[in-house]
Structures are given as structure tokens and as C-alpha cells.
Amino acid sequence: MLKFPCLLQVSLFALFGLAIAQNLDVDVNWRKYSNSRPRSERVSIAQNAINAMQPQLNTGTGEFNGIGFWQSANVYSAMAIQDQLTGSTTNKAVVVNNLKLAFRRNKNYDAYGYNDDALWWAQAAVYAHKAYKDDELLNNAIATWNSVSRYVITEAQALNARHPLKNFALAGSCDGATMAGGVFWRPTADDKSINSITTGLYLTLSAYLAEITKDSKYKDASVLSAKWIKAHNIAPNKILLDTQSGADCSRSPASWIFTYNTGKFVEGLSVLYDLTADNSWNQLMLDIVAAAVKNTAWQETNGIIKEGSDNGSNNDGIGFKAIYIRGLLEVFRRTPENEKLRILLHSYIDVQYNALLDLAKSPSGNFYSANWRGPQPTAFTSWGQLAALDVLVAAVDAN
């Protein structure tokens, strides 16, 4: 995760102009927004990329060389989703064995004291459970959910302006909205940051657990955290903001606009709408998706995502766009009735897919650059491969 500096004391609505209208039309300026590759070829392309990543696996830790702890979890997520989409067990042994290894080594998947780190691994365990029906992985995800739940602001804590595990007074409300549902980024007593990714991960994990277990406590938790993001961290232009202080309502700069905040939130909303049948969540999801795929802050006018394009060394931003595409895939899969949305998402995913294959794939192997606009890489990098996996997997289904 990015380690950001102090927050700024600014009102949310002072940062942006008027909200934009929803537009689900495909942008005709996008580069190559369709493809004719048969499904069997798309499956093979994705699996070959997964296979090229596996030599980087450290079998002693369950992590991958060259990328961070949270990023390693997302390699397993892509592998499990590939198997789920294809109805195979090709990646099962690697995914299941190493997710269990990581849980044994790091209690509740917490290796470095970041709640979002733990939630990335718990999310991977849920994807794997969905693919392989392994109950131990589900139990590991639930244990992690229980651990992180201690750092979710409850309605009572917001009302009383106190959290039992924090050594400062809470801002019980900001801009007139309760802070209930926000999830603290770090479990340390003095850390005040509540951000979209930690809260979005928690609401998405909660929604999946509600869907799997039918226990209403998970649905209630998902709704409360979705309400926090809706009230506090969405700009009027429907792009998600990053961080707000749980102590004084100050927030991160307006320039902190990252794809993964949006990707994880719309993924969670797609599941939450299935759980609740509350159309307001569906409408919010549509508004955010429509804004995200046209957002010039993270893509070129030709539609190719430019965020995290430094292929010279790993950084957190390289992994963000993979999460974004994964979230859009889940929206695509859960909206069969919305043909216009599915055409838009299919087209947008294909823009990234074709860019990877045409501009960012090595001519001598199944590996990819983190810069999807090119040039083609001359050497394998774990970070470039990580960023590519979710796009290649998404293209299996979103066509």
C-alpha cells in the first residue's frame, strides 16, 4: 500500500464542480475495443501468463519475488478467478496450499500491521473458496474479517466519539454524515486514517461472506461501510477519493485519484445489490462505472490506462489497475440484464487487453510490461506480470 503523508483540511465539495451525467456509451476514440479471439485462445493466453509468473513464487513464504505482500495476494486472486471462469482446477494446488501457508505464517493474514493487507489475502481466500469450495480458506477469511471488524467504526462509537482501540477522540460525523462504517487503515492506536480501499475491501469481503454463509451480520456490515464511502469519499464527478481522518475530517489531496478505489467499490456494490435488491446501490454502481471508464486522470484519450506505468521498478500503483479491471469484470458478470453496460465494459476491457497483447507483450515470451502503452518489454518483471494477469483473465469472460 502507498504510505501517504498528512491529510488536508478541505471540504469534499470544495474540491470539485458539478456532478457528471451518466453515459454508458462506448467512446469511439478508444483503441481496438473488440477482439475476435476464440475463448479457447483467451483461456490459453491467460494461463500462459499465470504459468510465467509461478517461477517467482517463494515456497517458503507463499509470496512472489519482486512484488509486495499485498500484491502477492492478488496473484492468487487472478489464478483462482481463472479457474472459476474456466471450471478447472489447473491452479488449485498452488493457490490453496500457499494461501494456507500465508495464513499459518501471518495471523489473520496480518504481516505488517495494515488492515488492507490482511483484507487482500482474505479476499483471495474467498475467491479460492468460490473456485474450489475449500472450507478452511473460508474459515481463514472469516477469521480475518473478525479481526479487522474491530477497527470498523460502529454507530455507537461514532455517536460517543470514541473508539476503544484508538487513543484519540473520533470525529463522530463529518460534513453532517456519520463516520459509522469507516474502517481504519492501520490497527495502531494513533493512526487516524480511514481510506476507500480498506473500507471498500471490507464491504466487498462482507458482501461475499453474506452471499456464501447467508448470515445477515455480514450483509449489515457491508451496507454500513458502503454508506460510509457513499457519504464521505465520492466526489461529485463520481470518482472515489482516497483518505479521510477519523479524528478531524481532514482528507487527502484531490489529486490522489487511484483506479483500485473505484474498482473495489464497484465490485462490492455489484454483490451488495444482489444481496439487498436495493436499486440505489445498483444506480450508484452504474454512475461510478460510467465516470470511471471515461476518467482522463488515469487513462489516455485512446482509453488505455496509464496509471502505474513505470516498468523500471515495482511500486504500489502498478498493482492498482489490476484491481480496477477485476472489479469491472465482477460488475459485468452480475449484470446480464444490462446490455448497454456490458457492451461498455466488454469494450473497455478489450482496449486494455489489445494494448497488452499488441504493445506491452514481449515478442519472445508470455510476459508483459507494466506500461500498457508500450514499448514491449525485453525482460520479465513480476510487477508487469501482476498488472497484466487480471486483464488477461477478465478477457476470458467479458467477450
pLDDT surpassing 50 at residue 1: no
* More confident call, 1 vs 378: 378
Chain segment 192-238, per-residue pLDDT in tens: 999 999 999 999 999 999 999 999 999 999 999 999 999 999 999 99
Domain ranges in the chain?
Answer: 12-397
Q: Confidence class of residue 5 from pLDDT cuts 50, 70 and 90?
A: very low
Chain segment 121-160, per-residue pLDDT in tens: 999 999 999 999 999 999 999 999 999 999 999 999 999 9
**pLDDT for the residue 14:** 41
User: Residue 23 in contact with residue 286, Cβ under 8 Å?
Assistant: no
pLDDT surpassing 70 at residue 12: no
pLDDT surpassing 90 at residue 98: yes
Q: Confidence class of residue 22 from pLDDT cuts 50, 70 and 90?
A: confident
**pLDDT for the residue 7:** 53
Class of domain 12-397: mainly alpha
Q: What is the mean pLDDT of residues 165-185?
A: 98
* More confident call, 20 vs 47: 47
pLDDT surpassing 50 at residue 19: no
User: Residue 329 in contact with residue 398, Cβ under 8 Å?
Assistant: yes
Q: Confidence class of residue 21 from pLDDT cuts 50, 70 and 90?
A: low
* More confident call, 44 vs 15: 44
Average pLDDT, the chain: 95
